[in-house]
A and B are shown apart, each in its own frame.
Chain A
Amino acid sequence: MIGSAIIFYSLGLLSLVSGFLAVTTRRIFRAAIYLLFSLIGIAGIYFWLQYEFIAAVQIVVYVGGIVVLIIFSIFLTQQSGEKLPAPSPRALIVACFAAVFGLALVAVQVFSYDFKGSEGKRIEPTIANIGSQMLDTKSTGYALPFEVVSILLLAAMIACIVIAMRMPKQENAL
């Protein structure tokens, strides 16, 4: 029991500390690497909660996909070795106020509310259960959102290609 608690707190600490470093470090490549560790920590929390499918999806999509995409876009758009400019003091103060007061407000609300769970037979989040409900067409199934998300992903991929494609003849307006 105590070992499991230690694992949970170290995973939470890993994701929070590396998330904080990812938004404050002034070297952009290090920010991407800190973001990677933060996402791995969150995937570890999913493993700790025994939601293995979500953890696997998190690692495949975020760690394997989005972070690699971000690192490639850093390579394409940044001069290496240059530090990011420090944020202006005004922006820093406003952001600190927004984050601290928002955190305090939400934390007070969350900790003063007594969450009541619903009773019922627990469904284990196994891949078989998730898959059969995902593709179910009955009232509890998620077949329609699944199809909508598929079309959204297709549209987004086509849009990415169109946006990032260099037009051969068109002159730059700027």
Chain B
Amino acid sequence: MQPGLYHLLFISTALFFIGVFGFLTRRNLVTMLMSVELILNSVNLNFIAFNKWLWPQNLDGVFFSIFIIAIAAAEAAVAIAIIINLYRTHHSIEVDKAEELKY
């Protein structure tokens, strides 16, 4: 069977919920960041698939993907700076250990 739009949409949906699963189960900030990257990638895949099969007379999907990739890079850099700062003050990057603001 020749792959089409629906196959790609299934891959991106599955990847999105794999990322959601990881985000809900992990307690370590670096692994949570990895799950967020998976979610962002699945969204990019969606934009490219729609651009290829449903909206080929424009390049809008490509531009959305490029901007998402740029913002994801900025987000990852800021997140890792925060993680390193947290490790300096708490000597751990488990989210359960950073609970000064709880209650």
Tell me if A153 and B66 are in contact (CB < 8 A): no
Q: List 15 A-B contacts (CB under 8 A).
A: A16-B15, A19-B15, A23-B18, A24-B22, A38-B38, A38-B41, A42-B45, A54-B44, A70-B33, A103-B17, A110-B10, A110-B13, A159-B81, A161-B81, A163-B85
A139 interface hit (Cβ, 8 Å) = no
In the docked arrangement, what's the CA distance between A76 and B20, Å? 26
Tell me if B81 and A99 are in contact (CB < 8 A): no
In the docked arrangement, what's the CA distance between A152 and B73, Å? 11
| Residues in chain B within 8 A of chain A (CB atoms) | 1-3, 5-11, 13-22, 24-28, 30-31, 33-35, 37-38, 41, 44-45, 48-49, 51-59, 62-63, 65-67, 69-78, 80-85, 87-90, 93, 100
Number of interface residues of A (CB under 8 A): 86
Tell me if A77 and B25 are in contact (CB < 8 A): no
Tell me if B74 and A152 are in contact (CB < 8 A): yes
8 cross-chain pairs, A with B, having the tightest CB-CB distances, nearest first: A23-B22, A120-B57, A156-B74, A95-B24, A99-B21, A160-B81, A164-B81, A163-B81
**Closest B residue by C-beta to A58:** B69
Q: Given the interface contacts A84-B31, A159-B78, does A118 sit within 8 Å of B17 by beta carbon? A: no
> Within the complex, what minimum Cβ distance (angstroms) separates A8 from chain B?
4
**Closest B residue by C-beta to A110:** B9
Tell me if A1 and B2 are in contact (CB < 8 A): yes
Cross-chain contact of A66 among B15, B56, B72 (Cβ < 8 A): B72
Segment 50-81 of A: residues with Cβ below 8 Å from B: 51, 53-54, 57-58, 61-62, 65-66, 69-70, 72-74, 76-78
Q: Given the interface contacts A12-B7, A16-B15, A20-B18, does A76 sit within 8 Å of B87 by beta carbon? A: yes
Tell me if B93 and A77 are in contact (CB < 8 A): yes
In the docked arrangement, what's the CA distance between A150 and B17, Å? 30
